[in-house]
């Protein structure tokens, strides 16, 4: 299919250009975090809590996955998606308040809770502006200010900024080793592979047209499967679901018993760094789904290392959901129902 006409008609906010240039965010994220004086007393932190929602939260899970797989961190990372810290903190906690817009009410509520209860913990804000920037300036809380890419820019497209700036802050505080070399190497790799991933995404999108995607991965990469579903729901405007091995073999797979004729398409993200028994589980699961009349495709996560595998897979999800949006006659960028919901919550 020739997508040129559909891009011109439906991509009104240039999502394609954002994806094409997403590799540039990683170096920018390093630089904006390096240039900020954190003014935090160096001490032995016992946990890191990343507070945020949506595209401001799941980069924290990517960081968690990356550092744990590389065995680069000795303290737990907790992702908080709520209005409260729920007694998760100690006096030696490091809390990141992450809100791309700076106006996410759940994250702002946690910020206020910390000050109101006079919790003796260290905070760092991450935002493009908004209320969070004003609060951090007023309360003299260090914060990382993302570049302002425009009012229509969506947090789910800002992963490079969030990931690289948070890692840089952790390195500056001595919690982890410096990661700038690996991040810049990732940038170089993504610049080269993004056009290839675009072509792969076009083909996959056409297979998924009028289907409901189900995304599976190994346990260690379950955040990547989750991100794919987010991309489908927000970019393509369709429902999507995810799960991970080996858990799904003990329950969910039985839902395929009567899959014939149903409009589901299962994608299995496969990696050679996972346990060999998980790889066997994925292959047998795919075979059994096909035997019952279901559609399934196993995708090898490209890349030579953990960072390359995670982010090349995320960008493939970007492209697939982008072209599926065009096939659905949708602009990939707006999230009208989310915005309507926020207005109703006022």
How far apart are the C-alpha atoms of 324 and 344, rounded to whole Å? 29
CB 60, CB 50: distance < 8 Å: yes
Active-site residue flag, 234: yes
Active-site residue flag, 211: no
Nearest to 161 by CA among 242, 285, 63, 272: 63
Instruction: Indicate the pairing of strand 122-127 with strand 143-145.
Output: parallel
Q: Which of 177, 275, 280, 342 is catalytic?
A: 342
3-state secondary structure of 98: strand
How far apart are the C-alpha atoms of 33 and 169, rounded to whole Å? 6
Q: Which of 41, 74, 140, 250 is catalytic?
A: 250
Q: Which of 234, 237, 270, 309 is catalytic?
A: 234
CB 113, CB 73: distance < 8 Å: no
Tokens read off for 135: 């609060």
Active-site residue flag, 339: no
How far apart are the C-alpha atoms of 23 and 340, rounded to whole Å? 31
If residue 170 lies in a helix (H) or strand (E), which one and from where to where? helix 159-172
- Residues with catalytic function: 234, 250, 342
């Amino acid at each position: 299919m020739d997508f040129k006409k559909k891009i011109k008609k439906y991509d009104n906010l240039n999502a394609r250009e954002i994806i094409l240039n997403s590799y540039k965010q990683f170096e920018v994220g390093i630089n904006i975090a390096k240039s900020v004086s954190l003014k935090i007393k160096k001490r032995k932190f016992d946990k890191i809590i990343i507070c945020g929602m949506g595209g401001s939260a799941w980069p924290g899970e990517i960081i968690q996955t990356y550092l744990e797989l590389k065995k680069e961190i000795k303290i737990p990372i907790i992702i908080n998606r709520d209005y409260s810290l729920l007694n998760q903190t100690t006096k030696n906690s490091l809390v990141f308040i992450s809100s791309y817009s700076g106006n996410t009410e759940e994250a702002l509520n946690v910020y206020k809770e910390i000050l109101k209860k006079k919790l003796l913990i260290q905070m760092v804000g991450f935002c493009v502006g908004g209320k969070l920037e004003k609060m951090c300036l007023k309360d003299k809380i260090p914060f990382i200010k993302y570049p302002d890419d425009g009012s229509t820019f969506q947090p789910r497209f800002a992963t490079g900024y969030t990931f690289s700036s948070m890692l840089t802050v952790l390195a500056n505080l001595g919690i982890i080793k410096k990661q700038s070399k690996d991040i810049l190497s990732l940038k170089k790799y993504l610049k080269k592979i993004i056009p290839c991933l675009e072509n792969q995404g076009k083909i996959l999108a056409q297979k998924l047209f009028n289907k409901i995607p189900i995304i599976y991965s190994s346990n260690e990469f379950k955040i990547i499967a989750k991100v794919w579903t987010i991309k489908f729901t927000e970019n393509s405007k369709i429902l999507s679901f995810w799960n991970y091995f080996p858990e799904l073999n003990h329950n969910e797979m039985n839902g395929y018993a009567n899959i014939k004729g149903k409009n589901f398409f299962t994608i299995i993200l496969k990696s050679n760094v996972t346990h060999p028994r998980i790889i066997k589980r994925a292959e047998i699961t795919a075979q059994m789904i096909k035997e019952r009349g279901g559609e399934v495709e196993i995708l090898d996560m490209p890349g030579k290392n953990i960072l390359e595998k995670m982010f090349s897979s995320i960008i493939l999800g970007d492209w697939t959901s982008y072209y599926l949006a065009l096939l659905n006659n949708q602009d990939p960028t707006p999230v009208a129902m989310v915005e309507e919901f926020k207005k109703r919550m006022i």
